[in-house]
Amino acid sequence: MFTRFRRKRINPVLRDLLQETHLSVNDFIYPLFARSGEGIKDEVGSMPGVYQMSIDEVVKECDVLKDLGIRSIILFGIPDTKDSVGSDAMCEHGIIAETVRAVKAAHPDMFVVTDLCFCEYTDHGHCGVLDPVLETVDNDITLDNLAKQAIIHAKAGVDMIAPSGMMDGMIQAIRKGLDSAGFENLPIMSYSTKFASAYYGPFRDVAESSPSFGDRRSYQMNPANRTEAIAESVADEQEGADILMVKPALAYMDVIRDVKNNTTLPLAVYNVSGEYSMFKMAAKAGVIDYDRVMMETLLGFKRAGADIIITYHAKEAAILLNK
Ligand code: PBG
Ligand code: ZN
């Protein structure tokens, strides 16, 4: 008859008592995409349920999120104009600065994170200033600009910044910039281990941030590298990051566990656009039980070692968790 393992799986209450990993609405950060205009809420074909929104709609969306118990968002901006350096990102009247001010004015209790990068703001779509000879991003000039962008976000009232550009030394440069401007208490969540992934495809439709030439492999990581993945996060811990991140999540569960075991900081994972869209399309085709696959996956991130999950599923998962 039932022995050892199975005797503990018969009673559902005992099963719950013995559950090792738990998912909570407190684990989620919900991504939002802001653009100029009014009353705009445009769904993106490749990401059902995800919208480009004007600032007033972002502010309204925060009411919906708070009702569901979601208390943290990460903002991405779609500027009106792009140029070679991404000026909109370093301007106090740029799309992100304006969005942060509006959200914090209406929702002081919402924890607002900003993605800190240049790919949405440059006309070439790369994550910084280009070196004309190398035809890739110039690391050190971009560091100066990242510090400027961070101070713009800080002055607008952001609660945490999340640099995603994978420049070497970005955490140290941003920390120095923030500290010298008086923002010593502003935490940095680093996209510390970010791979050059095909899973970002749908995001680039939403954020209008595809590179106009080449790809991001000269700054984002090779998906094949496990040792380097740990080293990238360890370096950001040493540079003064407050929270680390592995991105994407689903194809990198081993890396999530590796980074968790080799660092002492809280760890976020980014459940990226391609992962989200695959589930949506599979559900539409009738081949998966969407809710159960989603919850199993989110729980899997926690089990792998994630403390925070940035996910487009946050609202749907919150509804199920609140039941
Ligand atoms: C910007 C950035 C990207 C994502 C988050 N921040 C895209 C990229 O690196 O091309 C991807 C998020 C997603 O796919 O959901 N650097
Ligand atoms: Zn970028």
Residue 246 included in any domain: yes
Q: How many residues does the chain have?
A: 323
Give the tens place of pLDDT for each residue, 104-139.
999 999 999 999 999 999 999 999 999 988 889 999
pLDDT band per the 50, 70, 90 thresholds, residue 236: very high
Can you tell me which atom of ligand 1 is nearest the CA of 211? 10
Mean pLDDT of all residues belonging to the chain: 97
Mean pLDDT over 249-272 rounds to 98
- Pairwise CA distance, residues 287 & 275, whole Å: 16
Helix, coil or strand: residue 61: helix
- Residue for token pair 């919900």: 30
Q: Is ligand 1 within 6 A of the CB of residue 206?
A: no
Q: How do residues 42-86 score in pLDDT, each as one tens digit?
A: 999 999 999 999 999 999 999 999 999 999 999 999 999 999 999
CA dist list (Å): 222 to 55, 102, 231: 36, 38, 13
Decide: 115 in ligand 1 pocket, CB within 6 A: yes
- 13 lies in some domain: no
Which of 28, 31, 51 is closest to 320 using CA atoms? 28
Q: Which H helix or E strand runs over 188?
A: none
Q: Cα separation of 82 and 94, whole Å?
A: 11
Q: Could you tell me what percent of the chain has a pLDDT over 90?
A: 98
pLDDT tops 70 at residue 187 = yes
Segments forming the whole domain that contains residue 174: 22-321
**Calpha distance 87→90 (Å, rounded):** 5
Q: Based on the structure, what is the number of domains in the chain? A: 1
pLDDT at 197: 98
Return the pLDDT at 221.
Answer: 98
* Distance between Cα 107 and ligand 1 center (Å): 26
**Relative to the alpha carbon of 118, which ligand is closest?**
2
How far apart are alpha carbons 62 and 189 in whole angstroms? 21
Selected residue with higher pLDDT from 182 and 134 = 182
Residue 10 maps to a domain: no
pLDDT tier, 206 (very low <50, low <70, confident <90, very high otherwise)? very high
Instruction: Identify the pLDDT of residue 134.
Output: 86
Q: Confirm whether 286 is domain-assigned.
A: yes
* Ligand 1 closest atom vs CA 194: 9
| Predicted pLDDT at 38 | 98
Within 10 A of 200 (CB to CB), how many other CB atoms are there?
23
Q: Look at residue 228 in the predicted model and tell me its pLDDT.
A: 98
Residue 7 lies in a domain: no
Is the beta carbon of 122 within 6 A of some atom in ligand 1? Answer: no
Dist CA 138 CA 132 (whole Å): 9
CATH at residue 174: 3.20.20.70
* Separation of alpha carbons 321 and 323, rounded Å: 6
Q: Which pLDDT does position 2 carry in this prediction?
A: 65
The dihedrals phi and psi of 55, each to the nearest 5 degrees, come to -60, -40
- CA of 204 from ligand 2 middle (Å) equals 10
CA of 191 to the centre of ligand 1 (A): 10
- The pLDDT value recorded for residue 135 is 86
CB 17 within 8 A of CB 9: no
Asked if residue 144 is part of any domain, the answer here is yes
Alpha carbon distance 243, 241 (integer Å): 6
Q: Is the CB of 263 under 6 A from ligand 1?
A: no
pLDDT confidence of residue 271: 98
- Residue 35 counted as domain residue: yes
- Which of 203, 206, 270, 309 has most ligand 1 atoms within 8 Å of its beta carbon, as the pocket-test mutant? 203
Q: How far is the CA of 216 from the centre of ligand 1 (A)?
A: 11
Task: Examine residue 103 and state whether it is found in any structural domain, yes or no.
Answer: yes
- Alpha-carbon distance of 3 to 29, in angstroms, equals 41
3 state SS of 203: helix
Exposed/middle/buried for residue 96 (C-beta within 10 Å: 0-12, 13-18, 19+): buried
Does ligand 1 lie within 6 Å of residue 312's CB atom?
A: no
pLDDT tens-digit series, residues 297-307: 999 999 999 99
**Which residues are catalytic, by number?**
194, 247
pLDDT band at 144 (very low <50, low <70, confident <90, very high): very high
Instruction: Give the whole-number percent of the chain exceeding pLDDT 70.
Output: 99
Query: How much distance in Å is there from the Cα of 15 to the middle of ligand 2?
Result: 43
**Residue 103 zone, left/alpha/beta (φ > 0; ψ -120 to 50; rest):** alpha
Could you tell me if the CB of 205 is within 6 A of ligand 1?
no
pLDDT digits (tens, 9 = 90+) for 191-204: 999 999 999 999 99
pLDDT of 216 above 90: yes
Q: What is the pLDDT of residue 305?
A: 98
Q: Is 272 in the pocket of ligand 1 (CB under 6 A)?
A: yes
pLDDT at 1: 67
* pLDDT attached to residue 285: 98
